[in-house]
Structure 1
Amino acid sequence: MATRHLVRSVVVQSLYEWDFYGRKKDLIKILERNLEDYAPGIDEPDFAWRLLKGVIDNIDKIDVVIEKAAPEWPISRIPLVDRNVLRLGLYELLFSDKGEVPSKVAINEAVEVAKNFGGQGSGRFINGVLGTIFRQLPEGQEEEANKLKEPKEEKKEEEEKEKNIDSLKKEKE
């Protein structure tokens, strides 16, 4: 299993556990434990922290997008695995750096995680919701966003990501 795919799986498992317990458990401890148990020695542990922080920082916006894309499925009725796979997939699709994770990769990865952990129709459901949202994005959004970034901006974003990761880790101490 590729490192990033494994990281996404661990992040979804962590979000699932956190959501299952009514968001009362310490999500940082959950991710730490899951990384240690299921992905010891991975090459990119910071990728896991960025994904987790990105989902949590944008969870309310992400949930609104899900409800608009699947109006017959309120968030509370979507199975926990599917709900959290969608959250991760939408974070990568809408909020992450497209140079790091292209939109179609984000969708494909979410579908694969859903097939591994969800129910029989989870992959199709995830693909349908994310595909609907992807088709509603302005054409060429991905390419234009990357063209507009100046090198200074990219460096600033990278420094900001590092600060966010550090602050998330400090919160746990």
Structure 2
Amino acid sequence: MKRRKAREYVLQFLYACEMNENTQKICNYNFLQEEIEKFWERNYEEQNSDIKSFANQLIEGTIEHIDIIDKIIQKYADKWNIERMITIDKNILRFSIYEILYRQDIPYQVTINEAVEIAKKYSTKESAAFINGILDRIAKEEICHNKSAEK
């Protein structure tokens, strides 16, 4: 449950950045660190360092790879323009794709399940199914592609 809470914070952070049109600005490392610090000041009630640490890792990794991640979303989101996606769904996809592609310490099935549960809580049932479908395809195709490239 700690990691789910961390993922929910990541969603809040990414959502706020997008609503404030800061997504491109936070690609600057120093600006990103300032924004993360401000975020935790606003969420001062969260005292668990494990939650904060995991959330920070996901935020930093997602932002670092956001251009690649957005291209992957566009590739797998059949007939959906990323700019027209529900902001919550897009950001759940973003941090989940980061986990799937860059965090081999987390089984992709866990990541997908967490993303679906978060979507059910913060978005819609349709969104949960949409996110599940996209992440499942990405996990199967990108992981298989990466494994075959390693051989």
Q: Say whether the fold is shared (TM-score over 0.5).
A: yes
Change in Cα spacing, 1:35 to 1:92, as seen in structure 2 (3 Å) is farther
The residue number in structure 1 matching 2:117 is 112
Aligned in 2, Cα 1:28/1:43: closer, same or farther, shift over 3 Å? Answer: closer
Distance 1:135 1:89 in 2: 14
Matches within 5 A, 1:1-173: 2-23=1-22, 27-33=35-41, 35-37=43-45, 40-44=46-50, 45-96=52-103, 98-99=104-105, 101-139=106-144
Q: Secondary structure at the match of 1:36?
A: coil
Moved over 3 A (4+): 24-27, 138-142
Change (3 A) 1:70 1:28: same
Identity %: 34
Number of residue pairs matched by the alignment: 138
**Secondary structure of the residue that 2:44 maps to in structure 1?**
helix
TM-score w.r.t. structure 1 length?
A: 0.72
Q: Distance in 2 between matches of 1:46 and 1:83?
A: 23
Q: Could you report, residue by residue, the CA deviation over 1:28-70 in whole angstroms, capped at 9, with x for unpaired residues?
A: 2453135424xx1224121111110000000000000000001
Unaligned runs of 5+ in 2: 27-33
RMSD between superposed Cα atoms in Å? 2.2
Q: How many angstroms does 1:27 deviate by?
A: 3.2
* Runs (5+) with no aligned partner, structure 1: 146-173
Rg comparison, structure with higher value: 1
The TM-score with structure 2 as length reference comes to 0.82
